[in-house]
Amino acid sequence: MHAKPLAARSGTDTHCPYCALQCGMTLRRADGGDEAGGPPGLEVAERPDFPVNRGALCVKGRTATEVLAPHARLTRPLVRRSSSGELEPAEWEEALDLVAAALARTRDEHGPDAVGVFGGGGLTNEKAYALGKFARVVLGTSQIDYNGRFCMSSAAAAGTRAFGLDRGLPFPLEDVGRTDCVVLVGSNLAETMPPALRHLTELRERGGTLIVVDPRRTRTAEHADLHLAPLPGTDLALALGLLHLVVAEGGVDTGYIEARTTGWPEARSAAMAHWPELVERVTGVSVPELRRAAKLFSEAGNAMVLTARGPEQQSKGTDTVGAWINLCLATGRPGRPLSGYGCLTGQGNGQGGREHGQKADQLPGYRRLDDPAAREHVAQVWGVDPASLPGPGRSAYELLDALGGDVRTLLLAGSNPVVSAPHAAHVEQRLRSLDFLAVCDVVLSESARLADVVLPVTQWAEETGTTTNLEGRVLLRRKAVDPPAGVRTDLEVLEELAARLGWEKGFPAGPEEVFDELRRASAGGPADYSGISYRRIAAEDGVFWPCPEQTGDDGSRSPHPGTPRLFLDRFATPDGRARFVPVMHRPADEEPDEGYPLRLTTGRVLSQYQSGAQTRRVGALNEAAPGPFVELHPSLAGRLGAGEGDPLTVVSRRGRAVAPARITRGIRPDTVFMPFHWDGDGRANSLTNPALDPVSRMPEFKVCAVRVELAGPTGP
C-alpha cells in the first residue's frame, strides 16, 4: 500500500499516529477492499497543503491503516482466570468491575499512593488530561507519570531553566529550511522523522550549512556539510568547547547579551575551562573540526541548534542541553526570526502529554503541581478542594522501580515499558510483582501480556481528539472509521471506572467536551489553550499555543492569533530575560573499564517505531526491519573474529542481549549501537543504565559500558 496524491479533496483529513511531526494525511475509501490492509477499503492519501510534511510520508505513515485491521489488534477485554492462569476473553462489565475493585481495594487497604498510573506519549490531549485528573481526583494518588519522561524531559528542563517556558520548537518547522546554519545534535531525522528531512534539504539548496553531531555516520549525517562524531556521553564537553572558541575568536553578540540575558559572566567562565585540546581528548573530535564548527555557526547570519535524544538521554542531559542553549544565547540566536534553539520531540503527543497532567509534577496548562495558585485554579475547574490534590510523585523510572513495593496496583495506558524502559528485565520483574496490573492498549504488547485485565481501546483513526506536535501546533485527529465491535475509547473506560469508584459526573466520554474543560483548566497557564477550539483547529489546520481567550473591556471576545514564534519580544521569565546557566562537563554515570571496555548507544531504525508494539504487526515494516542487530566498526569486528551477520552477545552490568553483527565504518571503533524496538534475546534495554539526570529524572539510555563477545549458534 502506498500513499496516493489526491486529485480533489475527499475522505477524512487527519494526522499520522506515530512521531511528533504528526504529518498530515487523508484517509479515504479505496477500490481495493480488504487488500488495502486496514478496515475494508481504507487507504492513506497525501495532504500536500499541510506545512509540516507537505504531503511527504514515511513508510510507517503509508502503512498506518494496517494496524486498524482486526487481526492486528485487540477486540475484546481479556481477564486472567485463576483457574488457568491465562488471559481469556471476557465481557466489558466483568473486566471493568475487576479493575475498579482492585483500584479501590488497594487504595483503601494501603493508601492512595499504593495505586500507580503510567501513561503514554501517544495519548491524545483529551486522554492525557482525563488520565491525570482521574489519578489525582478519583484515586487521590501522586504516583502518576508517563513514558514521555523518556523522550524530551531533559530538553524541557533546560528550556524552562533558560527561557522560562518549554515548547519543543519555539518556531514553525518550516523556519529550519530558511535559516543559514543548523547544528543537529543527536538526531537521525532521515530514519526517525523522514518527512522533516526536506527542510534540511531546502536549507542546503538555499546555500545554508548543516552540522550533524552524532557518534554514528547515519543517513542524516551523510547530508551534512560537517559531521562531528564525539564519544557517546561527551556532548556536554563538545558544546562547552565550541562556546570557548566562539568567545576566543570574537563571535559573541555582546549587545544581545546585555539587552536580553542574565548570567553571562558565570557561563563564560565555565566555558573557558574547556579549551580545544582538552575537548579533543574528551570527545575525540579534532581541534580543526571544532574550530570549523564554531566558525560556521558564529558567522552565519541566522542559525539554530536542534537537539534530540542523543544529548538528552543522559544522566547529565539537562546540563548538556543547557550548554547548547548557552552557545545559542552567546551568539544572539533565541528570540530572533529564523534563529534559536529547539528540541525535536519524539513521540506523537510527547509535547501535549506532559502539558496537561500526565507528568508527576504538573497540572493542566503546564502548571506546576506545587504552585498554590495553580492548584486552586485547576481544583476550581474540577470542582474539588485544592487541599485534596496530592503533591508531586515519582518520575517514570522511579515509579516503575517502586512497583510491587510501595506501589501495589498499576493502571497502564498506552505504554510498553517491558521493551521501552531502561534496565528492562528489572522493570519486567517489577510488573510481575504487582498485586494487580490493568492495561489499556490497542494491541497485546509485551507489557499487556503480564496484566490481570487488558482493556482494548480505540486508536487514531477510530476516534477524534487533539495532539500537539513538536512545534506546539495543536492539531485535530478526526475519526474516519468505526472501531471493531467490543472496543471502547480510553475516555469511555475512565468514565466507567470513575463511576464505579463514586464519581458519576466529571469524566465525560465525549472528546470535545473534555477538550473544552481542558481549555478552562489551562487558561492563564504557560500552555494556555483557552482560545483554541475544535472548529478553529479545523479551519486553520492547527493553532500554536499559547493561545489565550481574549476578552475586551466591553466583554466581547476576539480570537488570539496563536503564537507560532515564541520569545520575539521577551522570554517567559519574571524579568523577560533569558538565563545563562553555568555548566561543567562530567563523565557518564558508567565509564568503560577492563571488564566492559566499549560504549553502547541505542536508537531507532526507519521501519519500526518506539517499542514496536504497533509497527511489528505490519508485514512490510517487518520485512524491512525484521529484528535487532549490533552495529560495530570493522576493526572491532576483526578483533572479535566476527563476520557480517554473526551472532554477538552484548553484556552490561545489568544484562545481556544477542543479535547479529552489522559491520560498518560509520560508527566509532570504541562504540556499538543497537536499536531498541524488540523484546526477547535482542532487547537492547536489557543493557541500558537507569542512572537519572538530577533535574529531569531522564535515564541514561544513550551510553553505558558493555563488552561484546561472539555468541554461540542460535536457533535450530
Would you state the pLDDT for residue 650?
98
C-alpha span between 42 and 9 (Å, rounded):
15
Which of 479, 365, 6, 480 lies closest to 491, judged by CA?
479
Average pLDDT for 522-541:
95
Same domain, 654 and 691: yes
| Sequence-ordered list of residues with C-beta below 8 angstroms from that of 262, at least 6 positions apart, any chain | 575, 577, 578, 579, 580
Q: What is the pLDDT of residues 38-75, one digit of tens each?
A: 555 689 999 999 999 999 999 999 999 999 988 889 99
Nine cell digits for residue 30: 479505496
Same domain, 453 and 524: yes
Same domain, 328 and 353: no
C-alpha span between 279 and 272 (Å, rounded):
11
**Structural domain contains residue 577:** no
Average pLDDT for 213-238:
97
Average pLDDT for 320-333:
98
Average pLDDT for 384-392:
98
Other Cβ atoms within 10 Å of 570 Cβ, number:
14
Residue 375 belongs to domain with CATH number: 3.40.50.740
C-alpha span between 229 and 439 (Å, rounded):
41
User: At 11, which helix (H) or strand (E)?
Assistant: none
Same domain, 706 and 630: yes
**Structural domain contains residue 461:** yes
Nine cell digits for residue 427: 522493570
Would you state the pLDDT for residue 152?
87
Would you state the pLDDT for residue 72?
85
Q: Name the domain boundary from 315, 343, 371.
A: 343
Is residue 32 over pLDDT 80?
Answer: no
Q: How confident is the model at residue 126 (pLDDT cuts 50, 70, 90)?
A: very high
Same domain, 217 and 100: no
Phi, psi for 638 (deg, rounded to 5): -65, -40
Would you state the pLDDT for residue 610?
92
Q: How confident is the model at residue 590 (pLDDT cuts 50, 70, 90)?
A: very high
Q: Return the ∠ at Cα 388 (arms to 529 and 354), rounded to 5°.
A: 35
User: At 94, which helix (H) or strand (E)?
Assistant: helix 92-110
Number of domains in the chain: 3
Q: What is the pLDDT of residues 257-291, one digit of tens each?
A: 999 999 999 999 999 999 999 999 999 999 999 99
Same domain, 375 and 494: yes
Q: How confident is the model at residue 31 (pLDDT cuts 50, 70, 90)?
A: low
Would you state the pLDDT for residue 419?
97
**Structural domain contains residue 67:** no
Mean pLDDT across the chain: 94
Do strands 699-700 and 689-692 pair parallel, antiparallel, or not at all (unpaired)?
Answer: antiparallel
**Structural domain contains residue 231:** yes
**Structural domain contains residue 29:** no
Same domain, 475 and 514: yes
Average pLDDT for 407-432:
97
Same domain, 212 and 359: no
Would you state the pLDDT for residue 37?
47
**Structural domain contains residue 557:** no
Angle between helices 235-248 and 264-272 (to 10 degrees): 110
Q: Name the domain boundary from 283, 310, 343.
A: 343
Average pLDDT for 73-79:
96
Would you state the pLDDT for residue 713?
56
Residue 679 belongs to domain with CATH number: 2.40.40.20
Q: In sequence order, what DSSP letters do the residues of 371-421 get, joined into one string? A: -HHHHHHHHHHHTS-GGGS------HHHHHHTBTTTB-EEEEES--HHHHS
C-alpha span between 367 and 525 (Å, rounded):
6
Q: Name the domain boundary from 319, 343, 367.
A: 343
Is residue 474 over pLDDT 60?
Answer: yes
Same domain, 396 and 447: yes
Residue 327 belongs to domain with CATH number: 3.40.228.10
Q: In sequence order, what DSSP letters do the residues of 226-284 get, joined into one string? A: EEE-PPTT-HHHHHHHHHHHHHHTT---HHHHHHHEE-HHHHHHHHHTS-HHHHHHHH-
Side-by-side strand order, sheet with 340-343: 226-228, 209-213, 181-185, 303-307, 340-343
Q: How confident is the model at residue 5 (pLDDT cuts 50, 70, 90)?
A: very low
pTM for the model: 0.95
Q: What is the pLDDT of residues 164-214, one digit of tens each?
A: 999 999 999 999 999 999 999 999 999 999 999 999 999 999 999 999 999
Q: Are 329 and 243 in contact (CB under 8 A)?
A: no
- Domain of 101 in residue numbering reads as 78-149+349-551
Would you state the pLDDT for residue 301?
97
Would you state the pLDDT for residue 348?
87
Same domain, 236 and 296: yes
Would you state the pLDDT for residue 493?
98
Q: Are 674 and 650 in contact (CB under 8 A)?
A: yes
Q: What is the pLDDT of residues 336-350, one digit of tens each?
A: 999 999 999 888 898
Max CA distance (Å), the chain: 80
As to burial, measured by CB atoms within 10 angstroms (0-12 exposed, 13-18 middle, 19+ buried), residue 645 is: exposed
**Structural domain contains residue 32:** no
Lowest-confidence segment of 71-85, 191-205, 394-408, 516-530 by average pLDDT:
71-85
Same domain, 248 and 353: no
Q: How confident is the model at residue 660 (pLDDT cuts 50, 70, 90)?
A: very high
Same domain, 386 and 257: no
Which of 335, 349, 55, 50 lies closest to 171, judged by CA?
335
**Structural domain contains residue 41:** no
Average pLDDT for 143-165:
95
Q: Which residue has the higher pLDDT, 554 or 254?
A: 254
Would you state the pLDDT for residue 556?
64
